[in-house]
Amino acid sequence: MRQKVSVIGAGNVGATTAQRLAEMDLVDIALVDVVEGLAEGKALDLREAAPVVGYDSSVVGSTDMAITEGSRVVVVTSGLARKPGMSRDDLISANAKIVGPVVEEVVRHSPDAVLVMVTNPLDVMTELAIRVSGLDRRRVIGMAGVLDTARFRSFLASELAVSVRSVEAYVLGGHGDTMVPLRGVTSVAGVPVGRLIPEGRLEEIVQRTRDGGAEVVKLLKTGSAYYAPAAAVAQMVDAILRDRGLVLPCAIRLDGEYGLSGVVMGVPVKLGAGGVQEVLEVELTQSERAELERSAAAVREVTAVLG
């Protein structure tokens, strides 16, 4: 029997995540959404694509969380996007009312699952999921660091006209304006990026990385990114289920690492069976450490809305 992965929320991010997981041909997928027929329709569409693409993954959809029973990993994408006139605190309160009950149901049906959180504000929703679920912090992981790092690597590769595979980088911190792309450890085929890109231009790329999600939203006008977020989730799920020991930047509640505790931040972690197997501490420059501490303060401020 194949392992099961459940995706909660069948919008663009959730449905594209289900597609990527199905095409990996590794797991069976349960897709859940509160909108009647949405998850069922997208699941049916994915099953009908299987003979063409060549996968045997089962994909089922429902409004009923019971279909998630026995999941090894549960991906939570459900929630609202920020709307015009909606404050940050409004968004947190609204999504907390959605994510909290979802997490309760997830744990009831799959008490041994690893939770991968995608709903924004990512750091706050990951903290909420830890509190609601009562799970060990290593089993509740936020996705955004993989996405932010992918954007940084993509922009650097385009700037230098090299393969994205040749660019090594990490983006740490909160998922937002205070994220911390690490210039000091960023390299292209082992060559420090500071030797390849002038400082001023590099800072422009760093800022574009911080604005990456907003740039997509501005272009789309009626939505937000989903191809890259779904790809990031699929990479994390693959690392967990295949016990790869893959080092990726993910959001986890820190417990003394980097001198920080009780705050959810993106940091490099070793992902494998059971979730986070180790938190790795990258050597930071003095300015990078100061940026990380400012990011932690910003995350604490927004998390305080939860009470």
Active site residues: 175
**SS3 at position 82:** coil
Q: Is the peptide bond before 101 cis (omega within 30 degrees of 0)?
A: no
Burial of 210 (0-12, 13-18, 19+ CB in 10 A): buried
Residue pair 75/52 in contact (Cβ under 8 Å)? The answer is no
Q: What is the Cα–Cα distance from 104 to 287, expressed in whole angstroms?
A: 40
Contact between 169 and 191 under an 8 Å Cβ cutoff? The reply is: no
Token pair for 199? 């400082």
- Contact between 95 and 81 under an 8 Å Cβ cutoff? The reply is no
